A = this chain, B = another copy of it.
Amino acid sequence: MPAKEFEISKTFGVISEGDFQKEVNLISWNGRKEKIDIRGWNDTHTKCGKGIVLTTNEAKALREILNCMEL
């Protein structure tokens, strides 16, 4: 899926590498407020896969859930 209008202001980390590298970024989509974004990207960040956008509170909640999981 071609990436719409977006701005990555910070990359927090890479989850996994591959054709579509899964990343955690701080992104403003279509000029809207920046949110934490988890999705896959091609190497030139011109295409992205489906993903999820989280507010800071949602990211905190996700962190708590993941910290309780036996992985």
Interface residue ranges, A against B (CB under 8 Å): 12-16, 22, 24, 38-40, 50-52, 54-69, 71
Contact = CB atoms under 8 A, between A and B. Distances in A.
A51 B54 contact: no
A16 B59 CA distance: 10
Nearest to A1: B50
24 contacts: A12-B66, A12-B68, A12-B69, A13-B61, A13-B65, A13-B68, A15-B62, A16-B55, A16-B58, A22-B52, A22-B54, A24-B65, A24-B66, A38-B52, A50-B50, A50-B51, A50-B52, A51-B52, A56-B71, A59-B69, A59-B71, A60-B71, A63-B66, A67-B67
A38 B55 CA distance: 14
